[in-house]
Amino acid sequence: MGQSGKTPPKVAVLMGGPSAEREVSLVSGRECAAALTGQGYEVVTLDADRDLCRRLGEISPDVVFNALHGRWGEDGCVQGLLEWLGLPYTHSGVLASALAIDKQRSKAAFMAAGLPVMHSQIHAKSDVMAGHVMAPPYVVKPNNEGSSVGIYLVPEDADGPPQLAPEMPSQVMVETFAPGRELTTAVMGASAGQPARALTVTDILTDGWYDYDAKYKPGGSRHVVPADIPKDIFDLCMDYALRAHAVLGCRGLSRTDFRWDESRGADGLILLETNTQPGMTPTSLGPEQAAAVGIDFAALCRWLVEDASCNR
């Protein structure tokens, strides 16, 4: 980038959008835009709205950096639009994005590949509130949101079923609770002839439930990088994350989350889900892992842009 006589590529950074994770996406977008500007790119930030197609046509970028989180930006919708427009973009494509954000369908893909997951079911919201649909403890969450949006933990001694917020969808996932430590591993996908690479393992420490605030508010969680865990568990996280990335067909950066019940050894390691649009904020896990293995934030953003393409 920035070589004399060459026009730097124009990068449109998509951010914000209409999802429940809008505010985090705005922070991700600003951080990525600043890093890419420092790398010599011509950068335009774009708060995604219903006029996105026209605005992209006016900007005419060489590459689209997708910093959107949640529905519409992470579920294959915007990826399909970018394919239609012929604009190279970062991260995963249409199919991988749609599959990963659908927790039940991605779980089926993981199970078929021999990856360990917890039992779960899809139920009507009204049924979940009317009575226990499975024996506690269990977790209730939207089937197609990320970042711990709308998660309810129903403990073993619960007096009754959870009363879900009005904004919860009409169909929700109910999943057997997986006890233990929160672990996560980011993967940089195959690029320029190089194989996909699992970065490291982070142990996420919180004072309570690892919810939306714990993920994104300063001080909400503490990250131990690399995780101080037995080598066999560390290696399994790296292996499972690579396999999950491949099973879903992910591209660019992904991150796979785990729960580990220490009392059960390797049998206690459970894959929760894979995120195709990991956060790119100062407290985000993916950039933190990249830095831990010698890839600074600007270099990570540059790699994502260089990896961008259509037909992903």
74-103 per-position pLDDT tens digit: 999 999 999 999 999 999 999 999 999 999
Residue 191: active-site member: no
Residue 279: active-site member: yes
pLDDT confidence band for 2 (50 / 70 / 90) = very low
pLDDT confidence band for 209 (50 / 70 / 90) = low
Q: Look at residue 3 and tell me whether its pLDDT is greater than 50.
A: no
Calculate the CA dihedral of residues 220, 225, 226, 227 and round it to 10 degrees. -20
Average pLDDT for the chain: 92
Rounded Cα distance, 26 and 19, in Å: 11
What is the Cβ-side half-sphere exposure of residue 280, based on CA atoms within 13 angstroms? 34
Q: What mean pLDDT comes out for the span 123-132?
A: 97
Residue 240: active-site member: no
The amino acid at residue 25 is: S
Residue of 21, 74, 175, 211 marked catalytic: 21
Rounded Cα distance, 30 and 245, in Å: 26
Residue 306: active-site member: no
Residue carrying structure tokens 């007096």:
159
Cα–chain center distance at 118: 19
Residue of 41, 210, 212, 216 marked catalytic: 216
pLDDT confidence band for 255 (50 / 70 / 90) = very high
Residue 21: active-site member: yes
C-beta of residue 25 within 8 angstroms of C-beta of residue 69: yes
Residue 216: active-site member: yes
Give the predicted TM-score (pTM) of the model: 0.92
Range of weakest confidence among 13-22, 55-64, 250-259 = 13-22
